[in-house]
Each structure stands twice: as C-alpha cells, then as structure tokens.
C-alpha cells in the first residue's frame, strides 16, 4: 500500500562543515525532490508541541525518504525547519532501580517504586525531564511511553536511554509509532514510511 495524495517537496541537506585555516566553512546543500504526503498536525499532536511551536504553518510530512533534523523542506514557496521528536517506551518493569534518559549528556533519573508500572516509570521520567534545563519538552502518553520534542525548530538533541527502554527517532522508520497512531491517523497506510514535523521558517 502507499501514501495518499503524493506531492513533490524539495529537501535541502547540508554536509558537515569543514575546518579551513581555523574557520568552519559550510558547504553547499544537496537538493533533491521527494514524493511526500503532507498533513496538518492533529489535535493530539498539537498538544505535544512546545508552546513556541504551536504556530500556524506547522505540519507533518510522511515520505519513503528519511528527513533529518537539520534538513529544510520546501513546499511551494514556503520553507520548513524540521524538529526532532522521539517516542520512548518502557520495555522492562523492575522495582527499585534507576531508569535514565540522557539528553545532550544530561542524565535524568527516576527510581522505580515497589509495584511500579510502565505508566509510573514514564510519568516519573517526564517529570524529571521537564524539571530540567534541556530545551526539550517531554509529554506522558499515558500508555507506558513518553514523547520528546525539541523546543527549537531545526535544533536536534542527542538521546540515550538505559537498557530497559527503547526509542524511535523522528528520522527512523515509524513501525513502532504506527502501533500507537493507527487508530488516530489514517494518512499512513504503510509501515515503510518516515515521519517528520515541519515548522514554517521565519516565524
């Protein structure tokens, strides 16, 4: 099965800057056309976004080509930054141990209680992350998972979790995420596609 309502969007992808005589030089971007299904952000997703990104011009893009956090997507005459998002899942439930989520080398820790559940662990980590200073917003999905979204468009973060958790990155295949969203979002009909959030540049 395939995406509905394909349209062509241009992706601008810049290489890593190179250092020349002590100065970093940004090379020219690679520009390529990809077929995509562009959708408005639905109500549930809108609530997950940091307030600064709750703007007119937010959209989501499904494509068979991965779109990465530093890419810029051009649709018609508008350009969109991509914001990193990840869905983290509590895979193993163990009482009285530390669960950690490391964002940009900052470690956030929640110690599970006796009689812990995936919901209590996810909730505890969300509280720790949102109480910290990293520019990432965590949202409890109330199902043993939590979502992270970068507070700034086009600004990716690094993420690591302990062995009792797993996560699906915005630039990764959305197979696991599809299980969560399949009853809410009918624009996706294949597990082989990628998803990214885009935000209109200049706002």
The residues that bridge with 161 in the sheet, in sequence order, are 101
Q: Which of 21-35, 46-60, 157-171 has the lowest mean pLDDT?
A: 46-60
Q: What is the pLDDT of residues 104-153, one digit of tens each?
A: 899 999 999 999 999 999 999 999 999 999 988 898 989 999 988 877 65
Q: In the prediction, which pLDDT does 162 show?
A: 97
Q: E strands, the chain, where?
A: 7-13, 18-20, 23-25, 30-40, 58-63, 72-75, 78-83, 85-90, 98-103, 106-111, 136-140, 145-150, 159-161, 165-169, 194-200
pLDDT at 14: 75
Mean pLDDT of the chain: 75
- Put simply, whether the predicted model's pTM sits higher than 0.75 gets the answer no
Tokens of 52: 């600064």
Asked if residues 157 and 102 have their Cβ atoms less than 8 Å apart, the reply is no
pLDDT band at 172 (very low <50, low <70, confident <90, very high): very low
Alpha helices, H only, 2-158: 43-48, 118-130
Compute the average pLDDT of residues 177-191. 41
In the chain, alpha helices (H): 43-48, 118-130, 175-181
pLDDT at 165: 96
Question: Mean pLDDT lowest for which of 62-76, 90-104, 134-148?
Answer: 62-76
Contacts of 96 (CB under 8 A, 6+ apart): 111, 112, 113, 114
Which residue ranges make up each domain of the chain? Answer: 7-84+170-200, 87-169
Residue that the structure tokens 């950690």 belong to: 100
Q: Which CATH class is domain 7-84+170-200?
A: mainly beta
């Amino acid at each position: 099965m395939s995406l509905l309502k394909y349209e062509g969007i241009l992706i601008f992808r810049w290489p890593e800057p190179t250092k020349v005589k002590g100065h970093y030089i940004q090379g020219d971007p690679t520009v390529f056309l990809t077929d995509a299904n562009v959708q408005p952000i639905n109500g549930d997703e809108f609530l997950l976004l940091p307030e600064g990104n709750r703007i007119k011009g937010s959209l989501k893009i499904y494509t068979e080509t991965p779109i990465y956090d530093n890419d810029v997507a051009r649709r018609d005459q508008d350009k969109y930054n991509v914001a990193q998002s990840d869905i983290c899942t509590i895979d193993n439930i163990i009482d009285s141990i530390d669960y950690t989520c490391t964002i940009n080398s900052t470690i956030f820790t929640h110690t599970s209680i006796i009689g812990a559940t995936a919901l209590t662990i996810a909730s505890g980590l969300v509280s720790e992350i949102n109480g910290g200073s990293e520019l990432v917003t965590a949202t409890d999905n109330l199902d043993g998972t939590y979502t992270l979204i970068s507070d700034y468009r086009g600004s990716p973060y690094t993420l690591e979790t302990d062995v009792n958790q797993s996560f699906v990155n915005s630039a990764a295949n959305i197979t696991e995420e599809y299980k969560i969203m399949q009853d809410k979002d009918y624009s996706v009909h294949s597990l082989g596609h990628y998803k990214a959030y885009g935000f209109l540049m200049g706002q």
